[in-house]
Structures are given as structure tokens and as C-alpha cells.
Amino acid sequence: MSDAACLEVQGITKRFGGLIANEDVSFTVNQGEILSIIGPNGAGKSTLFNCITGFYRPNAGRIFFRGKDITQYSAHKICKLGVARTFQVVQVISDMTVLENVMTGTYLRTYNRRDVREKAEEILRFTGLYEKRDTLGPDLTIADKKRLEVSMALGTQPTLLMLDEAMAGLTPVELREMMALIRKIRENGVTLIIVEHVMEAVMELSDRVVVINSGRKIVEGVPAEIVRNPEVIQAYLGDRYHA
Ligand SMILES: Nc1ncnc2c1ncn2[C@@H]1O[C@H](COP(=O)(O)OP(=O)(O)OP(=O)(O)O)[C@@H](O)[C@H]1O
Ligand SMILES: [Mg+2]
């Protein structure tokens, strides 16, 4: 694999009984890039995230993170290596404050409570949630919950951050804010994989796009190529986006 590869996914297949959620999916994510994964509902995008992050064990294929074969690693071990992710269904812990939620992530790196707290506060300043650090999870708006999820993932201090629909359900203003945050994360040297249906964000943020349909990768390329690809338009884009 090349020196620039952050993640290499080779021939991943994941079955649930007779259902093939991922079939022989391969792609590479370069260091420092933003790669988007798009495709219809049920295409297998979240399953792929779960395979990469050790929440599911693929039936076939291999996953390399910075040259290391992590296919058999536990979710915890993969996170410790520097891969963090958010969940499509927000996983904020409801009886904890914003700050405490982020601290659950920062404990991965240190057990010193003061260091953990300082790191979590630094992250909240970075993500713009510091003013709300004492708010309880359920009292947040959707946009702030999404921001908190990103903050919790950043708490583990990843070099690869994977966002599963971090921009769903946001107003246009909130969407711009989330896009700005994602750019800022990348500027800090973090590589990103984003699964997203909000095409405006995919088009503006992505260096490259991988398109999944019925579990299989149908094409990959730069955004401008992807939106003109007849197969992608037929399988997914339709009236969703016009180049
Ligand atoms: N734990 C599971 N057990 C059984 N089937 C599953 C499981 N997780 C996902 N699937 C199935 O695998 C297929 C892919 O689902 P997945 O959630 O990966 O799609 P997705 O691309 O993320 O869709 P969406 O855009 O709606 O989030 C679907 O048919 C889904 O029902
Ligand atoms: Mg999904």
C-alpha cells in the first residue's frame, strides 16, 4: 500500500443471514483527505462503518489502518489506535452534561481526571459547545447533539474520524456551521470519512466520493465526476442533485 494511505479497505463482505449488506467493497482513504460514502438507504454504508470500526466482524476481506491489519481488532483497540466515529442514531449519554459526555471519550487517553477535563474543555472550545458544557444531553437541539457527538469522537483524539450522517436534519445555517467544523477538523490534520445524504455538503467537502449501491461499490471519483455519472444518477442522485 502507498505511504499516503490512511485506511485501506480490501474486499469487505458482510452478511446478515441471507442478506449481503456489503459485497467485496474496496477503497483507500489517503492521509488528510475527506472521503465521502454515498448511496441509497440500505446500501450498506453504516454497515461498512461498523466493519471498519470493529463493531461488526466482516465475513471476508481485510482492513488496514496506517499499514496495520485491524480486521480482527476489537472496537476499543481500533479506537485506541486513532479511529473514532459517530453514530447515525445519536449516542449522547442522556443523564450526563455536555462536558461529561466528552470526558467519556477523553478517558481513552488518560485516567487523570484533571487532564481529562482540560482536554474535554479544549475540545468544546474548538467545536463551539463550550458555553453549553453544563447542559444535559437531552436538552440540546439536534444540531448541538450532532456537534456533541463529533466532540465525543474528538475526545478520543483520533487521526481518522468517521461521521455517519452528521448533517442530517440541520437547518441551512446549522449545516454551514457543521461544514465549517468539519473543515477545521481536517485543517488540524485529521483524515475524515463521511457518510452523508446531504449532497450539498458532500459536493463541497469531499476530495473523493465512493458510491455504494446494494452493498457494492459502483464507482469512485472526484465529486464533479460522480454527479455526472449516469449509473450514480440512476441509482441514487435522481432529482436529489443536479450538476
Ligand atoms: N445488525 C443487522 N442485522 C441485520 N440486518 C442488518 C443489520 N444492520 C444492517 N442490516 C441490513 O443491512 C443493509 C444495509 O444497512 P445499512 O444500515 O448499512 O445501510 P445504510 O446505507 O447505512 O442506509 P441508510 O442510508 O438508510 O442509513 C440493510 O438491508 C439493513 O437492513
Ligand atoms: Mg446508515
Place of cell 455536555: 98
Place of cell 444518477: 233
In the predicted structure, residue 223 carries a pLDDT above the cut 60: yes
pLDDT computed for residue 3 by the predictor: 60
**Contact present, 98 and 135 (Cβ < 8 Å):** yes
Tens-place pLDDT, residues 142-183: 999 999 999 999 999 999 999 999 999 999 999 999 999 999
Q: Is the CB of 19 under 6 A from ligand 1?
A: yes
pLDDT computed for residue 87 by the predictor: 87
Q: Is the CB of 21 under 6 A from ligand 1?
A: yes
Q: Is the CB of 46 under 6 A from ligand 1?
A: yes
**Angstrom distance (rounded) from CA 209 to CA 42:** 18
Residues lying with their CB under 5 A of ligand 2, a single-atom ion: 45-46, 88
pLDDT computed for residue 4 by the predictor: 73
Place of cell 482492513: 63
**Angstrom distance (rounded) from CA 74 to CA 166:** 24
Q: pTM higher than 0.85, yes or no?
A: yes
Q: Which of 185, 133, 180, 182 lies closest to 158 in space, CA to CA? A: 185
Tens-place pLDDT, residues 48-99: 999 999 999 999 999 999 999 999 999 999 999 999 999 888 777 778 999 9
In the predicted structure, residue 129 carries a pLDDT above the cut 60: yes
Which sign does the torsion angle of CA 86, 164, 36, 63 carry? positive
CA 7 – ligand 2 centroid, Å: 20
CA 212 – ligand 2 centroid, Å: 11
CA 93 – ligand 1 centroid, Å: 23
**Angstrom distance (rounded) from CA 32 to CA 116:** 26
β-bridge pairing 208-213 and 34-38: parallel
Q: Cβ atoms within 10 A of the Cβ of 104, count?
A: 15
Q: Look at residue 237 and give its three-state secondary structure.
A: helix
**Angstrom distance (rounded) from CA 24 to CA 135:** 44
The DSSP string of 103-170 is HHHHTTT---HHHHHHHHHHHHHHHT-GGGTTSBGGGS-HHHHHHHHHHHHHHT--SEEEEESTTTT-
Tens-place pLDDT, residues 4-45: 799 999 999 999 999 999 999 999 999 999 999 999 999 999
Domains of the chain, earliest start first? 5-237 (3.40.50.300)
**Contact present, 205 and 176 (Cβ < 8 Å):** no
pLDDT computed for residue 92 by the predictor: 75
Which of the four pLDDT bands, split at 50, 70 and 90, describes residue 243?
low
> Averaged over 101-110, what is the pLDDT?
89
Q: Cβ atoms within 10 A of the Cβ of 82, count?
A: 17
Of all ligands present, the nearest one to the C-alpha of 47 is: 1
CA 21 – ligand 2 centroid, Å: 11
pLDDT computed for residue 107 by the predictor: 86
Q: Whose CA is nearest to atom 8 of ligand 1?
A: 47
Which of the four pLDDT bands, split at 50, 70 and 90, describes residue 131?
very high
Q: Is the CB of 45 under 6 A from ligand 1?
A: yes
Of all ligands present, the nearest one to the C-alpha of 23 is: 1
Of residues 235 and 11, the one with the higher pLDDT is 11
